[in-house]
A = this chain, B = another copy of it.
């Protein structure tokens, strides 16, 4: 069932001569652009278009505005909160064919790219010049830069390098109505006017369609060392990690796996995960042998603070094995618990033991098993409510609400990295005042008074 209004039909007629085979209402094509990786049901788009240039996106936005047809920008569809799920009858603007690196200027610390570029491709291109593009969401080999910008994506390296916003210097954005806006700068610094660029980052595609980005790249640290630390339980692991930071060491990755996460990964992992109640995967990077000294110090601190075992990767094969074990967690948990609910709450680091302990307690009365893994170093751990059936999932839903409220009560947030999308529109109010939400609605109107750009996302309806 695909909703097509008269307005959409008219839009399709108007766009047909320009786009030809690059616009479609074919149900099979629509099925491919209706969902994401949130586990939410697929949406119900009216049509899909694949522009190849900014001028084409502008044409779409102009005609859609005139006819009042909603537009849903789409990249690789790897979102975790439903940002790119159409609510009904919209035209999906699939930007995956605008995927080029337009400029790469290591000497000036920036690259200019199109939104459909796969994130890891930029990092790879930068690497050839001794540079890196730090944001590395788990999906970085399949997700696109446009999606990263719209969700302000993080990743394991964020603990040292921060998240996407820090790396966005300027944007080209097509507004509702088709005007093409250029924001920001290509110099390292710049404070002319309001920071519209930073405001668009993380706005979930609701303010305009990003068609180009000027992204900051930085010199890559040539030396990386990796270790695997085993603990009796996640709380001990969390406390030990506080001591690592207190020693002045900022690792470039500090990831937690609890015993459930390790159990589901173990059968698939080349790296043999030591039996333990919890593990930390930790990496340090830098320019010289000081890196290994830091990592050895990390292991000493961990062992003094309750670690039962430490293993340092001896070569790149070891390192990749450890990293892969971490990357396998999400998919393996999903296979074992197909109806699981995963949330990406974040709390101040020192509150992590409280979060871990109390999340377990919240699950217990409903008989819901709770797993935790992810970005421990950032206080951003994925709390998973493990459900094997749809019935269990129903039981878990109120538990999820309590976990989100718990995170807020600990000084944290309902979403550390995935965003609001359509998944947490009602829960934004757990964290933000009515006044703040109303202000954001007024700001949305400043960009899109007709409400045609990604309608229904990011804010309560």
Contacts and interface: CB of A to CB of B under 8 A. Distances in A.
Interface in A435-461: 435-437, 439-440, 442-447, 458-459
A238 to B, nearest CB: 12
CB-CB nearest 6 A-B residue pairs: A442-B446, A108-B348, A190-B413, A187-B346, A198-B198, A189-B416
Contacts of A445: 446
Contacts of A84: none
B290 A190 contact: no
Interface in A324-370: 346-351
Given A193-B458, A195-B198, A195-B199, A413 B188 contact: no
A300 to B, nearest CB: 15
A166 interface: yes
Contact of A412 (B185, B246, B293, B415): B185
A205 to B, nearest CB: 12
A246 B107 contact: yes
| This chain: copies in complex | 2
B443 A194 contact: yes
17 contacts: A105-B350, A108-B350, A108-B379, A152-B191, A158-B189, A190-B346, A190-B412, A190-B415, A191-B413, A191-B415, A191-B419, A192-B419, A193-B459, A196-B439, A199-B199, A222-B248, A290-B290
Contact of A431 (B107, B192, B418): B192
Interface stretch (A49-57, A176-184, A259-267, A388-396): A176-184
A233 interface: no
A186 B293 CA distance: 31
Contacts of A44: none
Most buried by B among A189, A242, A415: A189
Contacts of A158: 189
Most buried by B among A185, A218, A349, A439: A439
Nearest to A219: B248
A275 interface: no
Contacts of A380: 187-189
Interface in A269-298: 286-288, 290, 293-294
A85 interface: no
B349 A188 contact: yes
B192 A411 contact: no
Contacts of A306: none
Interface residues of A, number: 92
A378 interface: yes
Interface string A406-435: 000001111111111000100010011101
Given A107-B246, A248-B130, A348-B108, A439 B446 contact: yes
B428 A187 contact: no
A375 interface: yes
A202 interface: yes
A433 to B, nearest CB: 7
B246 A436 contact: no
Given A191-B413, A193-B420, A193-B436, 17 more contacts: A110-B348, A158-B189, A181-B433, A181-B435, A182-B433, A189-B380, A189-B413, A191-B202, A191-B415, A191-B418, A194-B203, A194-B444, A195-B202, A198-B198, A198-B199, A199-B199, A219-B249
Contact of A199 (B194, B218, B294, B347): B194
A41 B151 CA distance: 44
Contacts of A163: 189
A165 interface: yes
Contacts of A349: 107-109, 188
A439 B250 CA distance: 40
A210 B130 CA distance: 41
Contacts of A109: 349
Contact of A288 (B203, B293, B346, B447): B293
Contacts of A348: 105, 108, 110, 186-188
A350 B110 CA distance: 12
A227 interface: no
Contacts of A39: none
Contacts of A294: 287
